[in-house]
Chain A
């Protein structure tokens, strides 16, 4: 009787242990710095195989977050690596369109750099050089300068470590710095000044603006990618200081106005 009781207790204990150890074969997938999935065949106990989010420990590294199950049972913890590569892009649209529409008066080059974080976030730095000759109502601007924009894009597509395409919305803050001459600026004093015009030589001005952007970034072949952005820009520096003049064309913003639109078409490479 006593032996039977021990056997029953052992069976119950084994059953209890087995009930606790609802195991699932778990291949923890991580992303290396180039965004390639690296799978480690580590079996880890999980409490409930059907959960879509959990915390597991593998070799001392705690991985937390939502996972995606592939057909072979691999779970990909998409948030397991923060940095997932960077992209360098060259803009073609601004260069071509500005030159065409201004009949060669404006020469503009723009490039962008961004990094991919957690398949979702793209901190971005953009910069460029502009040489502008612009005229309006008999006044003429000649100058050159550079611009920078910093901001963040958010990828709206579903997370996946191997899908590098992105549909993005984001914001930017930009600044354009330039040296320029303004020649033949009208003085609105027709009675006393007889329509006098003035020249302002060796001027320097910094403008600042904000942008809301939307666009996409598509992998074409290997690391080669293409993409476009539409930008809505709001100028913050709208009034000139006393005795100062402001340039008609702002590098990175376009012709001076309270708001402006812009389009980029990028060709880039993912590193």
Chain B
């Protein structure tokens, strides 16, 4: 009889656990294009070193009134949300007192994750270009934007120390 009681308790326990829904989103639903820097720095003796982080940068979406990165120090990468309502996203990048504008053309695919997590929009980057104010060029490393884990775009720049 004790065995039967334990079995009944186990069955009810399983049922209660199984019937209790998880109403909290536990999945990572952050999807952003990751921009990385490759800067060739020339010092006063014209010795070249490679720099891969912005010492201080401010980033804002063109058409948005909110600043994404505000004078952020030692930024190794910039995570840029792409627009879901249009196929071109532009950002201004203020670095060393100069403002570069980066353009990203992409396609959008809406994906439903779950009712708790909602929908995410995946992107496929088709083209990137910039105004070449402080940047030399920009290239696509990985076109698929489905997480925040992969580098998607690399921007190249050259900086020089002013000679005394």
Residues of A within 8 A of B (CB): 93, 97-98, 101, 134-137, 139, 141, 182, 185-193, 197-198, 228, 230, 239-240, 242-249, 254-257, 260-263
Q: How far is B115's CA from A198's CA once the two chains are assembled, in angstroms?
A: 11
- Smallest CB gap from B63: residue in A: A192
Contact assessment for B15 and A245 in the assembled complex, using a CB-CB cutoff below 8 Å:
no
Contact assessment for A262 and B18 in the assembled complex, using a CB-CB cutoff below 8 Å:
yes
Chain A residues with CB below 8 A from B82, complex form: 192
Chain B residues with CB below 8 A from A134, complex form: 21, 115
Contact assessment for A244 and B112 in the assembled complex, using a CB-CB cutoff below 8 Å:
yes
B148 shortest CB reach to chain A, Å: 12
Contact assessment for B117 and A263 in the assembled complex, using a CB-CB cutoff below 8 Å:
no
Contact assessment for B17 and A261 in the assembled complex, using a CB-CB cutoff below 8 Å:
yes
Q: How far is B122's CA from A103's CA once the two chains are assembled, in angstroms?
A: 37
Chain B residues with CB below 8 A from A242, complex form: 109-111
Number of A-B pairs whose CB atoms are under 8 Å?
A: 112
Of the listed stretches B24-32, B48-56, B130-138, chain A binds: B24-32
Between-chain CB contacts (< 8 Å), 17 pairs? A101-B16, A101-B19, A135-B23, A135-B115, A137-B23, A139-B118, A188-B118, A188-B120, A191-B61, A191-B81, A242-B109, A246-B114, A256-B115, A262-B15, A262-B18, A263-B14, A263-B18
- Smallest CB gap from A141: residue in B: B115
- Smallest CB gap from B79: residue in A: A191
Chain B residues with CB below 8 A from A136, complex form: 21, 23-25, 114-116
Q: Given A137-B25, A139-B116, A187-B119, A193–B18 Cβ distance below 8 Å? A: no
Q: How far is B64's CA from A257's CA once the two chains are assembled, in angstroms?
A: 37
Q: Which of B19, B82, B120 has the most CB of A within 10 A?
A: B19
- Smallest CB gap from A260: residue in B: B18
Is residue B143 contacting chain A, with contact meaning CB distance below 8 A? no
Scan residues 1-40 of chain B and give those whose CB is less than 8 A from a CB of chain A. 11-12, 14-25, 29-31
Known: A187-B118, A192-B61, A247-B115; 7 extra A-B contacts, CB below 8 A, are A98-B19, A188-B118, A242-B109, A242-B111, A249-B21, A254-B19, A257-B22
B64 shortest CB reach to chain A, Å: 7
Chain A residues with CB below 8 A from B119, complex form: 185-188, 198, 245
Contact assessment for A193 and B115 in the assembled complex, using a CB-CB cutoff below 8 Å:
no
- Smallest CB gap from B17: residue in A: A261
- Smallest CB gap from A243: residue in B: B110
B159 shortest CB reach to chain A, Å: 29
Q: Given A139-B116, A186-B117, A191-B81, A255–B22 Cβ distance below 8 Å? A: yes
Contact assessment for B30 and A188 in the assembled complex, using a CB-CB cutoff below 8 Å:
yes
Chain A residues with CB below 8 A from B30, complex form: 188
Contact assessment for A97 and B19 in the assembled complex, using a CB-CB cutoff below 8 Å:
yes
Chain B residues with CB below 8 A from A186, complex form: 117-119
Is residue B104 contacting chain A, with contact meaning CB distance below 8 A? no
Is residue B46 contacting chain A, with contact meaning CB distance below 8 A? no
Is residue B162 contacting chain A, with contact meaning CB distance below 8 A? no
A167 shortest CB reach to chain B, Å: 12
Q: How far is B115's CA from A249's CA once the two chains are assembled, in angstroms?
A: 10
B134 shortest CB reach to chain A, Å: 23
Per-residue contact bits, chain B 70-101, to A (CB 8 Å; 1 contact, 0 not) = 00000000000111110001000000000000
